[in-house]
Amino acid sequence: MAEPNILLTRIDNRLIHGQVATQWSGTLGANLILVANDKVAKDKMRQGLMDMAAPAGAQTRYFTIQKTIDVIHKAAPRQKIFIIVETPEDALKLVEGGVPIKVLNIGNMHMAEGKRQVATTVAVNDEDVATFKKLEDKGVKLEIQRVPTTAKEDVSKLFS
């Protein structure tokens, strides 16, 4: 069975968000944006808002983490998939469930209690760091990059 054509998986706690989604989709050449998020999969209103922010020419899907695991291998080769998740934990669940994620873009992880700012738009706590370590151990390449036009930041910042 052919692997699904996953161009990139991104952590962004805003999920599909304005210019960010448009810039990434355009740069990647994605025609399917898959939001893998248990809450959003049940929230038609948030889906509608995200559809408005989604770039023209890309389809959107809002699946639970489990449904993403269940259906990703049925994707057609012509589907150029850009997966967006909210947290590193969700990304790890996908990888553990057999979703062939090779590169994980760490985009936005907002500052919150107990988190420390490690990059321009990335704040992590110890649990996040442990999760990133597990992802690396599973062969996932981590990249910190806000938008395609900004430089990638040093991933070792996550672990310092």
The CATH number of the domain holding residue 39 is 3.40.35.10
In angstroms, the CA 6 to CA 148 distance is 17
Which pTM does this prediction carry? 0.96
The band of 1, judged by pLDDT with boundaries at 50, 70 and 90, is low
Q: Which helix (H) or strand (E) holds 5?
A: none
In a domain, residue 53? The reply is yes
In a domain, residue 113? The reply is yes
What pLDDT, on a 0 to 100 scale, did the predictor assign at position 18?
82
Instruction: Give the active site residues.
Output: 17
CA distances from 51 to 26, 77, 89, 93, 131 (A): 16, 23, 24, 25, 29
In angstroms, the CA 40 to CA 67 distance is 13
Residues 6+ apart with CB under 8 A from 125: 114, 115, 116
In a domain, residue 120? The reply is yes
